[in-house]
Amino acid sequence: MNECRYNIPKQYKVDKGMPLEPLLGKIENPKCRRIIETGVESVKWCYHIVDKKGIVNVAELVRESGLSILEIALRRQICPELLTEVFAGLFQRPIVLAYLYADELSLGTFLPAGNAMTGRMCSTDFYPRDVGRMIDIMDYERDTGKSVAQMHERILATIRQQKRVIMIEKAYEQINDRMEDEILAFEFSLENLEKIREDSAFVQAQLRVV
């Protein structure tokens, strides 16, 4: 059984595509099912983190309860909170979801509590997949010797933190966009352009030697 990066014994590579039809068929709300059917291209179960060590094959692995990490490729951007709600409802188990659309990424997670759908969930907005903003789902330094539940708590906290950062960035960008629009409106105003033309004519006259 292949262990994946960071060499954490508890983390196993699954790399298994999931058939969409039976999965999405479980969505009860027809509108919601339509949104997911048209927007989701594929769902791939990438990793499974379990407390038990020394698992020898995938069949044994998938029977173990643990934290599943899924990659969901999208055809278009869908609200990450809706996606997390839907997939949490479908799987009803601890999951980390990475939504991929074009060059953007969003992360979500569901941490169930009790038997019902009353757990905690969190997801970030979409953000560009640049190295500076990548977060590692697995952190060898911090996760060594921790139980899967503790690791999931840490992942939830990291995603919350990322969500906050991205919210602030997006809000700030909106302010900048508004300011930029105001600046451009002034720059291209007839009064401003006329002043620049006059200045230019003045400089042209200065540079000319008669």
Partner 1 sequence: MEVSRAVAAAILNSLKSGVVPRVGLEYITVGRRNEIQALLQDVSIIEQGGAAFRFIEGQYGSGKTFLMHALRNHVMERNFVVTDVELSVEKRFVGNRGQGLATYRELIHNMAIHACPDCGALQLILDKWIGSLENEVVQNEGLIPGHEAFDVRVSQKIYRITASMEERVNGFDFGKVLAAYYKGHRSGDTELQKKALRWLYGEYRTRTEAKNDLGVNLIINDDNWYDFLKLFSDFVVMAGYAGLYVCMDELASLYEIPSRVGREYNYNRMLSIYNDALQGKASHFGIIMSITREAMEDPVRGVFSFEPLRSRLASSSYEQEDAVRLRDMASPIIRLDSLNPGEMYVLLEKLSAIHGILYDYTPALGHDDYIYFLKQQYARAAQPESTTPREMIRSYVTLLNLMQQNQDVPKEDILYMQAAQGN
Residues at the site binding partner 1, with contacts judged by CB under 8 A: 180, 183-184, 186-188, 192-193, 196-197, 199-200, 202-204, 206-209
Q: Which of 140/202 has CB closer to partner 1?
A: 202
d(CA 167, CA 165): 6
Q: How near is the Cβ of 206 to partner 1 at its closest, in Å?
A: 6
Q: Is the dihedral of CA 145, 147, 151, 153 positive or negative?
A: negative
Q: Which of 113/209 has CB closer to partner 1?
A: 209
Residue with tokens 């949490």: 88
Q: How near is the Cβ of 195 to partner 1 at its closest, in Å?
A: 8
- CB distance 143 to 154 below 8 Å: yes
Q: Which of 149/184 has CB closer to partner 1?
A: 184
Q: How near is the Cβ of 200 to partner 1 at its closest, in Å?
A: 5
Q: How near is the Cβ of 103 to partner 1 at its closest, in Å?
A: 14
111-118 own/partner pairs: CB under 8 Å, 24+ apart: 111/152, 111/153, 111/156, 112/88, 117/88, 117/89, 117/92
Among the listed residues 19, 50, 36, the one whose alpha carbon sits nearest the alpha carbon of residue 84: 36
The total number of residues written for the chain in this structure: 210
Q: Which of 81/104 has CB closer to partner 1?
A: 104
Q: How near is the Cβ of 197 to partner 1 at its closest, in Å?
A: 6
Q: Which of 115/204 has CB closer to partner 1?
A: 204
